[in-house]
Chain A
Amino acid sequence: MKKFLVEFLNGIVKENPTFVLLLGLCPTLAVSISVVNGIGMGIAATFVLLGSNIIISLIKNVIPDRIRIPCYIVVIATFVTIAELSMKAYSPVLNRALGIYVPLIVVNCIVLGRAEAYAAKNTVVNSLFDGLGMGIGFTLALILISGIREFLGAGKILGYTLIKGFEPVFVIGMPSGALLVIGLLLGFFNLLKSKRE
């Protein structure tokens, strides 16, 4: 059980896909304009990660090595399509907000990366926890970034205005602001890391 916990926590802190591995940045930056969108994307990606990690770990011994990448992609694409259709049906507002970034989960480096680096080499249960950990790490990162961006860029959190009279910094909600926020966050984490050493 302890091993599973280690796998799980790995995805959240030590090998956080966003801040440490620098994977899956495309959707992270695009979607992190509001916390709601961030959570939505996080859940969708976690679902896909879980599904694909489990399935790929199950069939890893059956897939011929030469065509393993296309096989992974088919599995991942299937789960993405399920997620996409579910979102269209149950939450069209979220689907419109996330736009093209839902189908783009297929090429999200996190999903394919974990499939290749982990699920293909480990047991199903381990892969499950890895997928869960990575997914939650991704979601937490999304919440952090979109929290900052929604607060500074629109003066709200989850749609509620926190401080009256605060003039939001519009640029933070724009692509430029996204790049700035992640650049500064990465620099900040680097600073923390060097202080610890």
Chain B
Amino acid sequence: MNATQFLTIFISAVFVYNVILSRFLGLCSFIAISKETKPALAMSLAVMFVTTMSSIITWLIYRFLLLPFGMTYLRTISFILVIAAFVQLVEMIIKKVSPPMYRFFGIYLPLITVNCAVLGVAVLNSDMFFLNGKVLPGSFIYSVFQGICVGLGYTLAMLLMSGVRERLDLCNIPEAVKEFPLAFIIASIMSLSFMGFNGFKF
């Protein structure tokens, strides 16, 4: 476990293999919610929180429940159930603790359950930090850190995209590419530019 591994995970999750621009996870919400900065930021924070927490919980489940009992084939079902339950729990807590915040998040919270990024990072962690049923050194802390970085990558993409789309709102876009086609083309160029960090080695 060393510092450079953390840096590599950071650069990899935020830039080179950015969850949205490179792995396409969370694309639906990205295209739908990146029109304005405020909702984009709100969604990003919520997603980052959930990816981090779900990284923790799913790692524990994989390590202490699925692996020892040889039930890794139940990974998909158990992960998604846990995530759905967790998001439901968070929703209920926020509703109780801070109704204004609950109203602020609105529909975004339940949408996070089906955000591919959340299940995606959980599956990614179990693929990357376990090998043939063995726990690799530093597995837990790397998984959690990757969860945070995936959230950061999501936030970065959302923030940049919302700024761009807000600016384009003031312009005269050709009819055929208005809204979604242009959003994809912008994402394409952003994805291309993020590739600049390929081969990063500290």
Which A residues form the contact surface with B (CB < 8 A)? Answer: 22-23, 25-27, 29-30, 69-70, 73-74, 77-78, 80-81, 84-85, 100, 103-104, 106-107, 109, 112, 171, 174-180, 182-184, 186-188, 190-191, 194
Judge whether A104 and B77 touch: CB under 8 Å.
no
Which B residues form the contact surface with A (CB < 8 A)? Answer: 21-28, 31, 73-77, 79-81, 84-85, 88, 110, 113-116, 119-120, 123-124, 127, 175-178, 180-185, 187-189, 191-192, 195
List chain B residues, Cβ under 8 A from A29.
24, 27
Judge whether B195 and A74 touch: CB under 8 Å.
no
In this complex, what residue of B is CB-closest to A186? Answer: B181
Q: How far is the CB of A190 from chain B (nearest CB, A)?
A: 5
Partner of A85 from the list B73, B80, B183 (CB cut-off 8 Å) is B73
List chain A residues, Cβ under 8 A from B119.
103-104, 106-107
21 contacts between A and B (CB under 8 A): A23-B28, A25-B27, A69-B113, A77-B77, A78-B77, A81-B74, A85-B73, A106-B76, A171-B192, A174-B195, A176-B195, A178-B188, A179-B21, A180-B184, A182-B184, A183-B180, A183-B182, A184-B181, A187-B176, A190-B177, A191-B176
Report the separation of the CA atoms of residues A179 and B21 in the bound assembly, to the nearest whole angstrom: 8
Q: How far is the CB of B43 from chain A (nearest CB, A)?
A: 16
Judge whether A70 and B81 touch: CB under 8 Å.
yes
